[in-house]
A and B are shown apart, each in its own frame.
Chain A
């Protein structure tokens, strides 16, 4: 079985040593690197593509959150912090596991256990977005529609949406082609969410999504979409 690749990020050497020590009793993991600040970490993440980050929140110049926001694809994350839980809540992070330093072994074991459960549903590319003071992990699988709005891309997922400061063209290049399709100048759809495709008079196509959205494909994209659906 492939080993879980881990990157440890903390500005204090002894704090990193501490994590390494805790990881010693886990044979199926591999520590692929250590980083002492966000910039250093980003470089290593881009090259080494770790599966899991142990990430300190308070670091010089850029915080752990800043780091995650800068990533195109966010690996699994376990936050480590010396703040108490109320202080962590103040960051308004939802659904993120965090360990409080000093870390108890049984708590660490629990975090690793939960991770195994999560990584069973693998192949889950996701991003980390701050929207209106709230941080979200957003899995691309769950994004059914992306709309362009001025300089922002609006991502629709579940019954929520967030704004991402990027142009649709830039975003399109980063997206998985087998998953997303640009139907027109202003909209990108998730192919997994297509319910029905209705031909319109004049050759254009209207796409009905399972969510009820009904974007209309442009002339050029209708042609492409027809090919795509056939294959």
Chain B
């Protein structure tokens, strides 16, 4: 909604500025003509006014189209200046040509007697018109680009602030998810029993739990990690939960070897797997199978986590809500996330991330 509205407002502001700015300039020229000229003609004045406004709006509008088509709005300040300076000269030349032609034609039509050829007229007036025109065009270009540059700066800083908040939230919710009292204390209780029953497993569980805690305690500010690292983390998590759920938890991980180096949002798979255990495995007497797959399809990397269970109606939990937000911000709307209930009591969560 917001995004749809903003260009509309900008366009109307742009046209307002164009009309008001050039009208004021044209009126100023009229005033100068009126005070200096000996034979002032209202008809000529009107034509001058209209032609000035139309021609200069047209010229600058052409420039604007060119700038938009070549993405000037996304350049940094240095790149932008490198284009604005020659741009002002080119626009100055265009201004000079248009203005001299116009003035010559008006002289021709209104005074009937071509006192001089266009070439002579041009030679006589070009320099002054060029200097004035370049100055005008420089002002126009600077105003136009600085306005958009400032707008963009404001927008990016707003977006960055938002992203920082989101990632902070993600970090916190991850902390509370991994240090989720239920998960943590059940794991500890499990380890306590294993110490007597199966000391080797107990030692392994402590290693796994330590690594998980380390990741959630110290890596909070990292936004993206490789698929390989994420899968390793998920494997640790699943191994630990397997010690707890035993035969009730089965898992299969099918990751394409070509994809292991791609960068993905940290903990995106982990969040889905945690969810799969909480809502899928833990709620079923006989547990079930969690399957993680990756796949490359048409410019996207698709990551799916499948678990037995029914999709519960209602809003996403904190974990999924955060995941959606992070995907939307980090990929500017090009990544998608969906969770669906399939046939045969299967819940399928899918993340699609643009590759490269």
Beta-carbon nearest neighbor of B180 in chain A: A82
Q: Are A12 and B197 in contact (CB under 8 A)?
A: no
B190 at the interface (CB under 8 A from A): yes
Q: How far is the CA of A13 from the CA of B287 in the complex (A)?
A: 14
For A13, what are the chain B residues with a Cβ–Cβ distance below 8 Å? 246
The count of residues in chain A whose C-beta lies closer than 8 Å to any C-beta of chain B is 22
Q: Are A84 and B283 in contact (CB under 8 A)?
A: no
Q: Which of A14-22, A186-194, A199-207, A212-220 contacts B (4 or more CB under 8 A)?
A: A14-22
B122 at the interface (CB under 8 A from A): no
Chain A 33-54 interface 0/1 with B at a Cβ cutoff of 8 Å (1 = within): 0001101000000000000000
Give A201 Cβ to nearest chain B Cβ, in Å.
62
Instruction: Decide yes or no: A18 and B189 within 8 Å by CB, A12-B245, A61-B283, A61-B285 being known contacts.
Output: yes
A208 at the interface (CB under 8 A from B): no
Q: Are B192 and A58 in contact (CB under 8 A)?
A: no
Give B77 Cβ to nearest chain A Cβ, in Å.
53
Q: Are B185 and A100 in contact (CB under 8 A)?
A: yes
For B186, what are the chain A residues with a Cβ–Cβ distance below 8 Å? 12, 15, 82, 101
For A103, what are the chain B residues with a Cβ–Cβ distance below 8 Å? 189
Main secondary structure of the interface of B (DSSP, over half): helix
Number of A-B contacts (CB under 8 A): 60
Q: Are B193 and A61 in contact (CB under 8 A)?
A: no
For A21, what are the chain B residues with a Cβ–Cβ distance below 8 Å? 193, 196
Q: How far is the CA of A14 from the CA of B202 in the complex (A)?
A: 11
**Contact residues of B between 182 and 228, Cβ < 8 Å to A:** 182, 185-186, 188-190, 192-194, 196-197
The count of residues in chain B whose C-beta lies closer than 8 Å to any C-beta of chain A is 21
Q: How far is the CA of A62 from the CA of B194 in the complex (A)?
A: 26
B284 at the interface (CB under 8 A from A): yes
Q: Are B190 and A58 in contact (CB under 8 A)?
A: no
What are 6 A-B pairs at a CB distance below 8 A?
A12-B245, A15-B186, A17-B193, A61-B285, A82-B181, A100-B185
For B190, what are the chain A residues with a Cβ–Cβ distance below 8 Å? 12, 14-15
Q: How far is the CA of A15 from the CA of B187 in the complex (A)?
A: 10
By a beta-carbon cutoff of 8 Å, the part of chain B in contact with chain A is 181-182, 185-186, 188-190, 192-194, 196-197, 243-246, 248, 282-285
Q: Are A101 and B185 in contact (CB under 8 A)?
A: yes
Give B127 Cβ to nearest chain A Cβ, in Å.
83
Q: Are B285 and A14 in contact (CB under 8 A)?
A: no
Instruction: Decide yes or no: A12 and B244 within 8 Å by CB, A17-B193, A83-B181 being known contacts.
Output: yes
Select one of A14, A60, A87 contacting B181, CB under 8 A: A87
For A101, what are the chain B residues with a Cβ–Cβ distance below 8 Å? 185-186, 188-189
For B284, what are the chain A residues with a Cβ–Cβ distance below 8 Å? 60-61
For B285, what are the chain A residues with a Cβ–Cβ distance below 8 Å? 11, 36-37, 39, 60-61
Select one of B189, B193, B194, B282 contacting A60, CB under 8 A: B282
Beta-carbon nearest neighbor of A37 in chain B: B285
Select one of A11, A84, A102 contacting B189, CB under 8 A: A102
For A15, what are the chain B residues with a Cβ–Cβ distance below 8 Å? 186, 189-190, 193
